[in-house]
Amino acid sequence: MKTIQYELHQGVATITFDEPGSPVNTMCADWQRDMSTVTGLVVRDKALIKGIILASNKSTFFAGADLKATLKLQASDAPRVFAEIEQLKKNFRTLETLGVPVVSCINGAALGGGWEVALVGHHRIALDNPRIQLGLPEITLGLIPGATGITKMTRLLGLQGAQPYILESRLFNPREALELGLVHELAPDATTLRAAAEAYIATHASAQHPWDAKDYKMPGGTPANPKIAGMLSVAPAVLKQKTRGLYPAPEAALAAMVEGAMVDYDTALRIESRYLAQLIVSPVARNMITAFFFHLNAVKGGSSRPADVPKFKPRKVGILGAGMMGAGIAYAQASRGIDTVLEDVSLENAELGRAYSLRVTQPRVDKGQMSVVAQQALLARITPTDHAKDLQGCELIIEAVTENRDVKAQVTREAEAQLAPGGFMASNTSTLPITGLAKAVARPEKFVGIHFFSPVDKMQLVEIIRGQKTDDETIARAYDYVQALGKLPIVVNDSRGFYTSRTFGTFVMEGATMLGEGVPAPVIENAAVQAGMPVGPLAVLDETALSLAVHVLDQTRADYKAEGKVYEPGSGELLVERMVKTLRRAGRHAGGGFYDYPPGQRKHLWPELKGLFEDPKLDWSLQDVKDRLLYRQSVETVRCLAEGVLTTAHDANIGSIFGIGFPAWTGGALQFVYGQGIDAFEKRCDDLARRFGQGFLLDGAARDAIRRFAPQP
């Protein structure tokens, strides 16, 4: 056997998982074959076996499915996958029903298929380490737990109790698992883990799972229970409201839970297998595995970080500007133990910025999730000031003032002299090119863009922008700083709007463009949500302020003029400018924009939009509206690749999902291209460009970039 070691000693059979050449154990093809082999050996030795121990030779217990192999699956592979899943379950079932105790020694993480392997054990012992993660994250990858996970968790916790751990992929540590009854014992170290397993076998002559007992009853009741039936009558509708029909995995998981609860255990396993076989070959699963496993791990693993630069651990960081963004960054830093100097034009403003951290943490204190002592310690890490000299000794200073080139230059010059030796400067600008802003500093090679998203305490993504002169050390240190905050860094090259703001701008402006063409505003907003965007483009413009969009437009015009050029705004930009300058509708902060915000009531679209813009004679198509919103962002992403603004597929996809809310079911704005198929995507773009303008045009460089960054088979 290649991936499993089998040993029988004094009546205890030890099955040790140890996949060669891999840091973790996976359900690869070799492992699946080895499981059949080792199961046969156990059956052969049955008369000699008093108990079985499942163990791992890795630092973790088991990682789950072989996702690289999963990406290669086609729809025609579904029958084969079903047969393989059923064979694996047959092996599990054989071990579980021998009558002897099976003990799982969980020495590290057991996720997805790994947790399902652990559940083979009648008795489960885990290391008492709060960092160990256990559970079933398959839904986040477009899959379902299909190697007994749904069936067993439902029978262990009940239909209601299991839902958070299956439908929401809620993970848990060993101590939480003990409280749930999913783990039976905790061990302080690896030595006692093995000893505890042997002790259990020595004191238990036989064992079976709860559902194999004649008197077993499902916790909370089956679907025949009126209370459960009442819950199930509304559950699909609630789920559909969340998924909008774009994510088949949660719906399949709920169906497998309910259908499986109405039948015997073995039939429930077959139901589970059928649903998994359908999902695992689907485009949505392929997209989500690409983004949320491979690309997310690439970002977390530092794939875009320059190598050979020593790790940077920030201790003292300054923030220029205590407004919404500056205050949010200050909280993010202080919550991670970083001493923060928060400077503004007045001490009052700076103290208001510090008070933001109090507002964010107070609800946690009120709920008992955070102690007053911890809250005060966090606040003590933030020093409000109106004097630049208080920034002295900061290893990094981030400018987070208004989007005005002159103001940014002034505060940056004042602060740079206060940096600690070897320190570096950054700007939190969302649109202004970093190379231009770097002209204000003495050392442009130590100047970088660090673009946070609002609200900072909730948004995970941070965009790091390399200016023309920014050196590798500064990029690496910026990357380390972002990771020290527990956030996701992507690295892009300089351009107006960089990647995220530039691409997100196409989404909101395409919405404004369609409104100007006569498409009804409710259609635009609902189509965006139906396509998977969090909210419609007009609502986003309102929230971020139409006046800000006009300010950016004015700044762009001024920048072009300074370069001796003329900027030609698109029809969407001109419509937004009209909303602000002519119709005096500047957005939510100003009382209303595309929406009205009546006090104490839900917002609603401004009724005047219909008379001002809607064309009742326009022959619009809902599919066209959806495609324009998604394709326009993907086209801009491809253009960023062609221009060198983006240099990796993982930065493109993770940036679009976590930064601008591109639908997760697509796998990101670039994976959306490959999910459609390159030829089909280009054909649809050609059609959209012919009918709706140059925003959808793919030139030769863009088409070349699509093929250059295509996933390798």
Which residue, of 446, 472, 494, is where some domain finishes?
Answer: 494
| Average pLDDT along the chain | 96
Q: Is residue 58 part of a domain?
A: yes
Residues across the chain: 713
Q: Is residue 303 part of a domain?
A: no
Tell me the CA distances in angstroms from 672 to 73, 84, 665, one per residue in order.
18, 30, 9
Has residue 713 got a pLDDT over 80?
no
CA distances from residue 242 to 101, 245, 271, 286 in whole angstroms, order as listed: 42, 8, 24, 21
Asked if residue 666 belongs to a domain, the reply is no
Same-domain status, 449 and 563: no
The per-residue pLDDT for 378 is 98
* 204 domain-assigned: yes
pLDDT value for 237:
87
Tens digits of per-residue pLDDT, 641-660?
999 999 999 999 999 999 99
Q: Are residues 507 and 561 in the same domain?
A: yes
CATH code for the domain in which residue 451 is found: 3.40.50.720
Residues 438 and 532 in one domain: no
Say if 434 falls within a structural domain.
Answer: yes
> Which residues touch 388 (CB under 8 Å, ≥6 apart)?
343, 414, 415, 418
Q: What is the pLDDT of residue 402?
A: 86
Both 364 and 241 in a single domain? no
Residue 263's alpha-carbon distances to 122, 271, 420, in angstroms, are 22, 10, 68
In a domain, 671, yes or no: no
The C-alpha atoms of residue 567 and residue 546 are separated, in whole angstroms, by: 19
pLDDT at 548: 85
Q: If pLDDT is split at 50, 70 and 90, which confidence band does 552 have?
A: confident
pLDDT band for position 496 (cuts 50, 70, 90): confident
pLDDT at 357: 97
Which tens digits make up the pLDDT trace of 188-234?
Answer: 998 899 999 999 999 999 999 999 999 999 999 999 888 888 888 88
Does one domain contain both 525 and 484?
A: no
* Confidence grade of residue 679 (pLDDT, cut at 50, 70, 90): very high
Domain finish residue from 432, 459, 494: 494
pLDDT for res 544: 85
Please determine, for residue 437, whether its predicted confidence score (pLDDT) is greater than 80: yes
Is the per-residue pLDDT at 78 higher than 80? Answer: yes
CATH number at 157 reads 3.90.226.10
Contact 96, 209 (CB under 8 A): yes
Q: Is the pLDDT at 629 greater than 80, yes or no?
A: yes
Residue 577 has pLDDT above 90, yes or no: yes
Whether residue 249 is found in the same domain as residue 332: no
The domain total for the chain is: 3
Whole-number percent of the chain with pLDDT over 90: 92
Domain boundary among 460, 494, 528: 494
Assign residue 514 the CATH number of its domain.
Answer: 1.10.1040.50
**What is the predicted pLDDT for the residue at 404?**
83
Confidence of residue 662 (pLDDT cuts 50, 70, 90): very high
pLDDT band at 556 (very low <50, low <70, confident <90, very high): confident
How far apart are the C-alpha atoms of 336 and 372, rounded to whole Å? 17
Instruction: Answer yes or no: are the C-beta atoms of 672 and 627 closer than 8 Å.
Output: no
Residues 619 and 636 in one domain: yes
263-305 pLDDT per residue, tens: 999 999 999 999 999 999 999 999 999 999 999 999 999 999 9
Q: Is the pLDDT of residue 400 over 80?
A: yes
Per-residue pLDDT for 555 more than 90?
A: no
Q: What digits encode the pLDDT tens for the residues 455-466? A: 999 999 999 999
- Is residue 497 very low, low, confident or very high in pLDDT (cuts 50, 70, 90)? confident
Q: How far apart are CA 257 and CA 268, in angstroms?
A: 8
Please give the angle made by the CA atoms of 543, 547 and 550, to the nearest 5 degrees. Answer: 125
Residue 343 sits in the same domain as residue 481:
yes
Across residues 611-624, what is the average pLDDT?
96
Q: Judge whether 310 lies within some domain.
A: no
* 570 and 546 together in one domain: yes
Write out pLDDT tens, residues 79-132: 999 999 999 999 999 999 999 999 999 999 999 999 999 999 999 999 999 999
**692 and 543 in a common domain:** yes
145 band by pLDDT with thresholds 50, 70 and 90: very high
Q: Can you tell me the mean pLDDT for 604-612?
A: 96
Residue 115 and residue 56 in contact, taking contact as beta carbons nearer than 8 Å? no
Q: Give the pLDDT confidence score for residue 605 in this predicted structure.
A: 97
Residue 598 CB burial class (10 angstroms; 0-12, 13-18, ≥19): exposed
Helix axes 500-517, 537-544, angle to 10 degrees: 120
Do 486 and 507 lie in a common domain?
no
For residue 12, is it within any domain? yes
Same domain, 373 and 457: yes
pLDDT value at residue 304: 96
Q: With beta carbons less than 8 A apart as the criterion, state whether 13 and 42 touch.
A: yes
Q: Domain of 432? A: 316-494
Pairwise CA distance, residues 327 & 350, whole Å: 8
**668: pLDDT confidence band, cut at 50, 70 and 90?**
very high
Assess whether pLDDT exceeds 90 at residue 320.
Answer: yes
pTM, full prediction = 0.92
